[in-house]
Chains A and B, each alone.
Chain A
Amino acid sequence: AQSVTQLGSHVSVSEGALVLLRCNYSSSVPPYLFWYVQYPNQGLQLLLKYTSAATLVKGINGFEAEFKKSETSFHLTKPSAHMSDAAEYFCAVSDIQGAQKLVFGQGTRLTINP
């Protein structure tokens, strides 16, 4: 069964600092990987996705993530944090076959300090 582990339920950085949110996955076959962002009382918005093309994936709002098969990781980064980045971030994995159900990590709440 597929699973995702996000290291750190809360991450706090200063405005302008590097953002690094960690995600490790477990899958018996090459998966699809995603990062979603959720603002309070909102649905989930896709930040970026890995679907076996380029291992370095660029997303919206200046975020990017690198797929590292040897480390089974898909960490999310942003060079310079902005106050508007404060939100909950979810890493997710899905099968490339069947209904492609998403399995989410437990989420990381990102706080930006002025």
Chain B
Amino acid sequence: DAMVIQNPRYQVTQFGKPVTLSCSQTLNHNVMYWYQQKSSQAPKLLFHYYDKDFNNEADTPDNFQSRRPNTSFCFLDIRSPGLGDAAMYLCATSIIRGSGEAFFGQGTRLTVV
């Protein structure tokens, strides 16, 4: 089945140690998104790619970076994780000029120790 896959599902990292979360998709969608969801809160958009064009949200900290080497893969890099970065990170995809529906992966739960 076509889908969005996030790896790993659970990630534990040390305070200040760089960490990378990965997302792959078999839907061939041209837009990929990264959302951060803290406990009992709504998902918050960090950035998105429209094909290779990177779009950062205005309030996304510089500590968060992203790479999209090809259509299928997208990575979230956290350069120096702090305790406040512990959250669920959700990757999603969609088609421009489609119905606006986003397809989500299962998420990666990040713990910072």
Contact = CB atoms under 8 A, between A and B. Distances in A.
A106 interface: yes
A43 B107 contact: yes
A102 B88 CA distance: 17
A3 B43 CA distance: 13
Interface in B24-80: 31, 33, 40-43, 45, 48, 50, 55
B104 A104 contact: no
Contacts of B33: 101-102
Contacts of B113: none
Instruction: Determine the main DSSP class of A at the interface with B.
Output: loop
B55 to A, nearest CB: 7
A34 to B, nearest CB: 7
Nearest to A91: B42
Contact of B101 (A43, A46, A90, A95): A46
Interface residues of A, number: 24
Contact of A49 (B48, B101, B105): B101
B22 to A, nearest CB: 15
B76 to A, nearest CB: 14
Contacts of A34: 100-101
Q: Which 10 A-B pairs have the closest CB atoms?
A: A32-B100, A43-B104, A104-B42, A94-B100, A100-B100, A44-B104, A43-B106, A43-B107, A51-B99, A106-B42
Given A42-B106, A43-B105, 11 more contacts: A32-B99, A42-B107, A43-B106, A49-B101, A96-B100, A99-B31, A100-B96, A100-B98, A100-B102, A104-B43, A105-B42
Interface of B: 4, 6, 31, 33, 40-43, 45, 48, 50, 55, 88, 90, 92, 94, 96, 98-107, 109
